[in-house]
């Protein structure tokens, strides 16, 4: 699907003036996801930074129906909403969006997500991954990358790699899985449009790398740049898995060639959470990126795509 | 035409869902509740519930979450659980009540682990005291069926808008067959018309955001002030205060329509008119107490029974009235408010503290974790309470007596009676 910029809808589903931090990547993700899904979307949102976006005291910038839920329950919530729409014959016209953070996806929310995925409940699950429990004050999560300092890995930095959530979701055999980044609004838009088109075919999983100025430790005007650097260094490939087939998205295709990838240091150095990384730690990052692309390349070869 | 069937308590609950035309069911199996889930699945797969979606969730927490969500889409919903599964739902039960959703849920009662038990007591149901649900206990499978139907009426009443529990004893009712009359669909529809939801997120003409972060104070805006958390919680308490009256009204209407009644819908009195001693109990304990009342009356003791059906809201006014002539109330709890005493006993003392007439209240613990409750045990309790009625030392005791606990057989000495 190629979307021209001139085709993008002008209508905003989030009014200006949210309570998100300045420079927050979530707002970009939320804005483009909702533009793609349109007004007939019902959002369910667990405890996360996005809960703050929804406003307090009954006034909300969101123009679509939204209901909040407990931290671990968003997928079950979406499953229940989807079941009700089906019972009422409204499942074709209305789309249910579970909008969670990485804690609500990788950690506390994984059981409900796995259950709904296995059952084939009809909704889009979106994880805005800002790589720690940012809303509660930057504690480590299963999505926090290697070496990052957080308020619960304050001195040594995280000594483990992040969980590979994409592979976990792939193991569920979903019809549509995508990875995108807030540095690429059009990519976000296209992927949510596609997820919408797979309505009725079970859970569609989209993970968005969401930059976080206070949690990652960078100036607010660098949000988009860092979200792009994550892609340009090959750390965060933009890709899709459509009905089992792996597709590397256009902006990431060139990084199949290792020589085109920027040095990972460019991504790491601008963030206070990585200020204590040693050369040895950076080696771990480089190996992580290389292994990731080796796997992607092998799979594309197997598919006959390269 | 109504149909006469012989059903277990679990299947009676499943038939009630069918009669109520429930639109979304999500449930997770747990002993002794599992056959409810199985029966509803059977109805759905056999096409007997064409408008119902059954979500075969992977946990109790997801079961209650799914029905909470479906209810917010304006659907009539149902779930059921027991003991540890119920405890696993706790967080979302509070969420359901706080969201003022009219969902109905059955509890096939069972003791809470540890140690593991699958047998009945009322600890699981009573542990949910403060989540904000309407809470009822039943004594027969017909009463389970009828109470589920009545519960939808109560929960969906705009004066109430609260979720409701219907609790029946694990095994004693859940797995025991009894005759149950299943009512005609049209007649049920007259009594229980389709849900007119007050929270309805699929209404896109009136886009709403439900349960956002709600600050301690009011949100003051030129467009209008919105309540703080405190005001929302005040309205929940008010809803409970109105609910007693609604429960009574619904019970009367149910009786007029179907010819069956369970006392006043709040409690079921048995031989209370001239009673000097009243037993106070719920569910299986109340059922066992009926025979005990008869036996003690044969001995010339003026004993009666108040079997409590509505536990939340706690019907203070009705209980003050019901106990206004009794000299002594013997409370049998199949549960413990650990560190205090039986939960029913403690609640009754609270309710009668400000009454014009305050009977002596003596509480006993019986039958935890499915330990058989015999008539002899209950008779022992009543006779002990009568003998020690005027003994201030006993009344001022700070321990609670467990009847039928077999410590001597284990080589221990038992404290108290």
The residue of A83, A86, A119 whose CB has the most chain B CBs within 10 angstroms, and thus the best one to mutate to test that interface, is: A83
Total domain count for chain A? 1
pTM of this prediction exceeds 0.95: yes
Interchain pair A58, B228: CB under 8 A: no
Q: Cα(A201)–Cα(A78) distance, rounded to whole angstroms?
A: 14
Residue A299: how many CB atoms within 10 A of its CB? Answer: 15
Q: Please state, in angstroms and rounded to a whole number, the distance separating the CA atoms of residues A59 and B229.
A: 14
Is omega for the bond preceding B99 within 30 degrees of 0, making it cis?
no
**Quick check: is A270 in a domain?**
yes
> How far apart are the CA of B193 and the nearest CA of chain A, in angstroms?
16
**A93 to chain B: nearest residue by CA?**
B202
Cβ atoms of B275 and B326 closer than 8 Å: yes
Chain A residues whose beta carbon lies within 8 Å of the beta carbon of residue B194 = none
Answer yes or no: same fold for B3-196+243-258 and B267-410.
Answer: yes
Cβ contacts of B359 within 8 Å, gap of 6 or more = B278, B323, B326, B327, B328, B329, B352
- Please, are residues B11 and B39 in contact by the beta-carbon 8 Å criterion? yes
Closest CA to A101 of A77, A73, A129: A129
Q: Give B267-410's CATH code, choosing from 2.130.10.10, 3.90.1150.10, 3.40.50.920, 3.30.565.10.
A: 3.40.50.920
3-state secondary structure of B133: coil
* pLDDT tens track for B147-188: 999 999 999 999 999 999 999 999 999 999 999 999 999 999
CA A257 to chain centre: 24
Which of A53, A79, A121 to substitute to test the interface with B, most B CBs within 10 Å?
A79
Q: Do the domain assignments include residue A60?
A: yes
In a domain, A5, yes or no: no
* Residue A28 counted as domain residue: yes
Domain that holds residue A96: 16-303
Which phi-psi region, left, alpha or beta, contains residue A206 (left: φ > 0; alpha: ψ -120 to 50)? beta
Q: Do B211 and A56 touch (CB under 8 A)?
A: no
Q: How far is A31 from chain B (nearest CA, A)?
A: 17
Tell me the C-alpha distance between B239 and B242, whole Å: 5
Chain B CB contacts of A111 under 8 Å are 58-59, 61-62
**Chain A hits for B62, Cβ within 8 Å:** 73, 75-76, 79, 111-112, 115-116
In this structure, what CATH number is given to the domain that contains residue A198?
Answer: 3.40.50.970
CB contact under 8 A, A79 and B55: yes
Whether the CB-CB separation of B31 and B110 falls below 8 Å is answered with yes
d(CA B246, CA B252): 10
Q: In whole angstroms, what is the distance from residue B384 CA to residue B277 CA?
A: 12
Residue of A76, A98, A117 to mutate, testing the B interface (most B Cβ within 10 Å of its Cβ):
A76
d(CA B269, CA A248): 73
Contact A111 B52 (CB under 8 A): no
Hey, are the CB atoms on B207 and A65 less than 8 Å from each other? yes
The verdict on a CB contact (< 8 Å) between B201 and A80 is no
Report if residue A86 sits inside a domain: yes
Name the average pLDDT for chain B. Answer: 97
Which residues from B are below 8 Å from A55, CB to CB? 209, 212-213
Domain spans, chain B: 3-196+243-258, 267-410
Does residue A57 lie in a domain region? yes
Q: Is residue A11 part of a domain?
A: no
Residue pLDDT tens, chain A, 306 long: 678 888 899 999 999 889 999 999 999 999 999 999 999 999 999 999 999 998 888 889 999 999 999 999 999 999 999 999 999 999 999 999 999 999 999 999 999 999 999 999 999 999 999 999 999 999 999 999 999 999 999 999 999 999 999 999 999 999 999 999 999 999 999 999 999 999 999 999 999 999 999 999 999 999 999 999 999 999 999 999 999 999 999 999 999 999 999 999 999 999 999 999 999 999 999 999 999 999 999 999 999 998
Cβ atoms of residues B181 and B142 within 8 Å: yes
CATH of domain B3-196+243-258: 3.40.50.970
A6 occurs within a structural domain = no
């Amino acid at each position: 699907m190629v979307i021209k910029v001139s085709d993008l809808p002008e209508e905003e589903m989030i009014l200006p003036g949210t309570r998100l931090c300045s420079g927050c990547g979530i707002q970009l993700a939320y804005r483009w996801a909702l533009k793609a899904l349109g007004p007939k979307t019902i959002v369910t949102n667990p405890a996360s930074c996005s809960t703050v976006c929804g406003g307090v005291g009954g006034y909300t910038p969101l123009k679509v129906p939204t209901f909040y839920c407990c931290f671990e329950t968003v997928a079950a919530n979406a499953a229940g909403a989807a079941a009700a729409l089906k019972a009422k014959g409204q499942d074709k016209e209305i789309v249910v969006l579970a909008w969670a953070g990485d804690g609500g996806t990788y950690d506390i929310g994984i059981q409900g997500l796995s259950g709904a995925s296995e059952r084939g409940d009809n909704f889009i699950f979106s994880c805005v991954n800002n790589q720690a429990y940012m809303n509660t004050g930057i504690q480590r999560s299963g999505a926090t990358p290697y070496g990052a300092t957080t308020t619960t890995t304050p001195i040594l930095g995280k000594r483990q790699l992040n969980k590979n959530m994409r592979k976990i979701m792939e193991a569920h055999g979903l019809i549509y899985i995508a990875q995108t980044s807030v540095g690429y609004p059009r990519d976000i838009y296209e992927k949510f449009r596609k997820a919408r088109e797979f309505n009725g075919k079970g859970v569609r999983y989209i993970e968005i790398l969401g930059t976080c100025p206070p949690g990652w430790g960078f100036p607010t005007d660098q949000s988009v740049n860092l979200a792009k650097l994550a892609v340009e260094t090959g750390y965060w490939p933009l890709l899709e898995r459509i009905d089992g087939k792996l597709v590397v998205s256009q902006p990431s295709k060139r990084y199949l060639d290792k020589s085109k990838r920027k040095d990972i240091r460019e991504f790491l150095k601008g963030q206070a959470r990585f200020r204590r990384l040693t050369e040895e730690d950076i080696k771990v990052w480089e190996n992580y990126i290389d292994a990731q692309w080796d796997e992607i390349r092998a799979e594309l070869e197997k598919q006959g795509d390269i | 035409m109504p149909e006469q069937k012989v059903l277990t308590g679990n299947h009676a609950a499943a038939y009630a869902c069918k009669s109520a035309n429930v639109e979304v069911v999500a449930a997770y199996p747990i002993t002794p509740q599992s056959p409810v889930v199985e029966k509803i699945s059977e109805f759905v797969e056999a096409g007997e519930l064409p408008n119902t979606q059954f979500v075969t969730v992977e946990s109790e927490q997801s079961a209650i979450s799914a029905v909470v969500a479906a209810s917010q889409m304006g659907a009539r919903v149902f779930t059921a659980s027991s003991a540890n599964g119920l405890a696993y739902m706790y967080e979302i039960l509070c969420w359901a009540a706080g969201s003022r959703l009219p969902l109905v849920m059955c509890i096939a009662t069972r003791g809470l682990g540890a140690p593991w038990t699958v047998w009945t007591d009322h600890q699981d149901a009573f542990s949910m005291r403060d989540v904000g649900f309407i809470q009822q206990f039943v004594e027969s499978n017909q009463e389970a069926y009828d109470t589920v139907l009545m519960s939808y009426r109560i929960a969906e009443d705009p004066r109430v808008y609260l979720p409701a529990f219907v609790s029946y004893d694990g095994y004693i009712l859940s797995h025991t067959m009894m005759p149950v009359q299943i009512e005609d669909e049209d007649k049920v529809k007259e009594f229980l018309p389709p849900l007119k939801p007050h929270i309805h997120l699929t209404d896109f003409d009136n886009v709403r955001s439900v349960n956002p972060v709600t600050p301690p104070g009011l949100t003051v805006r030129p467009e209008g002030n919105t309540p703080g958390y405190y005001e929302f919680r005040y309205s929940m308490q008010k809803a409970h205060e109105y609910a007693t009256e609604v429960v009574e009204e619904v019970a009367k209407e149910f009786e007029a329509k179907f010819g069956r009644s369970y006392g006043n819908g709040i409690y079921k009195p048995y031989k209370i008119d001239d009673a000097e001693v009243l037993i106070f109990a719920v569910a299986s304990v109340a059922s066992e107490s009926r025979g005990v009342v008869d036996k003690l009356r044969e001995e010339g003791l003026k004993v009666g029974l108040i079997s409590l059906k509505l536990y939340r809201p706690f019907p203070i006014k009705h209980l003050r009235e019901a106990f206004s002539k009794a000299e002594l109330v013997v409370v049998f709890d199949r549960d413990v408010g650990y560190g205090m005493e039986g939960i029913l006993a403690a609640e009754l003392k609270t309710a009668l503290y400000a009454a014009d007439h305050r009977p002596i209240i003596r509480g006993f613990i019986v039958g935890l974790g499915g330990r058989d409750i015999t008539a002899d045990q209950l008779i022992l309790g009543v006779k002990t309470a009568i003998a020690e009625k005027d003994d201030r030392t006993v009344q001022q005791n700070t321990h609670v007596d467990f009847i039928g606990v077999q410590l001597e057989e284990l080589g221990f000495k038992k404290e108290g009676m």
